[in-house]
Amino acid sequence: VTNPLLDILAADRVAAVTCNSAEMAEVVLQAAEERERPAVRLVSEHALLLSSGSRLVAALVAMTAASRFPAVVQVDHMHVLETVESALAAGPQAIKADGSAGFRGQRSLHLAGRGPRAKARGGRGSRARRASRRRRRLRISMQASAASATDPREVREFLARTGVDCLAVAIGNLHGNYVAPANLDWELLRSITRLVDLPLALHGASGLDRVDVIAALHLGIRKINFNTEFRTAWFGAMSGRIRERERGASQLELLDEVRR
Ligand SMILES: [Zn+2]
């Protein structure tokens, strides 16, 4: 049995988009379906830790079944080992362990290496056992990233020791809005691509020039993560429509317009 995220990455290049609500996930699925593309929806560790977090992940996973094209849910940027276990219980197909603490700091190794084998927590009832068997069958895909800039000399050891399926490179990409034009290190990306034969991910794509995105795809990036750009567009559309609603539009119309 293979993992659905790895199947997508083997066949195609994909945009991964952070979704803070089922409505946002619906927009991502609709956009992907219109383009006849697969979709990866991300839930941040921060969102997972909210009281609504595991139900949000479960809802997004359930939406996958009604999608006409391959779609998966990944819990993104996990820092805390205990949270990885509760994330697994919510049923995502992939988890990204955050290595920003540094490869040498061992934390990311531990975090990423533990994930696929993490056991279901709580009761020993047959439901828990079935869930745990299903997770083993699905093989949760693990992605990890290296410290501030990926050091090509460490990549092979990092992959061997973590057993991750996907590597998020740090080549000068940043999260949030770029304050200055991005200065991505293409030579570094080339040297990483030559070293590995697993899919590479690029985070922090909001605000990147289209030419940079295309260059990254040419140089071996298979998955590109967006958050800020989508979130800004979403809340911008929402607040504009809410002002209009005060003039009488219905809630359903409002949500339908924001989706578009
Ligand atoms: Zn990221």
Q: What is the mean pLDDT of the chain?
A: 80
Q: CB-hemisphere CA count at 13 Å for 40?
A: 29
Res 142: pLDDT: 63
- Burial class of 257 by CB neighbour count within 10 A (0 to 12, 13 to 18, 19+): middle
Query: 199 CA to middle of ligand 1, Å?
Result: 16
**Number of other CB atoms surrounding residue 240 within 10 Å:** 12
pLDDT score recorded for residue 219: 95
129 C-alpha to center of ligand 1: Å?
Answer: 32
Q: How far is the CA of 182 from the centre of ligand 1 (A)?
A: 15
- For residue 113, the CA-to-ligand 1 centroid distance in Å is 19
* pLDDT tens-digit series, residues 46-70: 999 999 999 999 999 999 989 999 9
* Overall average pLDDT of the 239-252 stretch: 73
Q: How far is the CA of 62 from the centre of ligand 1 (A)?
A: 23
The alpha carbon of 174 and the centre of ligand 1 are apart by a number of angstroms equal to 8
Predicted TM-score of the model (pTM) = 0.80
Secondary structure letter of residue 246 according to DSSP: T
Q: Is the pLDDT of residue 238 over 60?
A: yes
Residue 130 pLDDT greater than 70, yes or no: no
Which of 32-46, 72-86, 205-219 has the least mean pLDDT?
72-86
What is the CA(175)–ligand 1 centre distance, in A? 6
Report CA(200)–ligand 1 centroid distance (Å). Answer: 13
Distance 173 CA to ligand 1 centre (A): 10
- The number of CA neighbours under 13 Å toward the Cβ of 5 is 30
Give pLDDT tens digits for 146-195.
Answer: 446 888 888 888 888 878 889 899 898 888 877 778 889 999 999 999 99
Distance from the alpha carbon of residue 82 to the mean position of ligand 1, in angstroms: 20
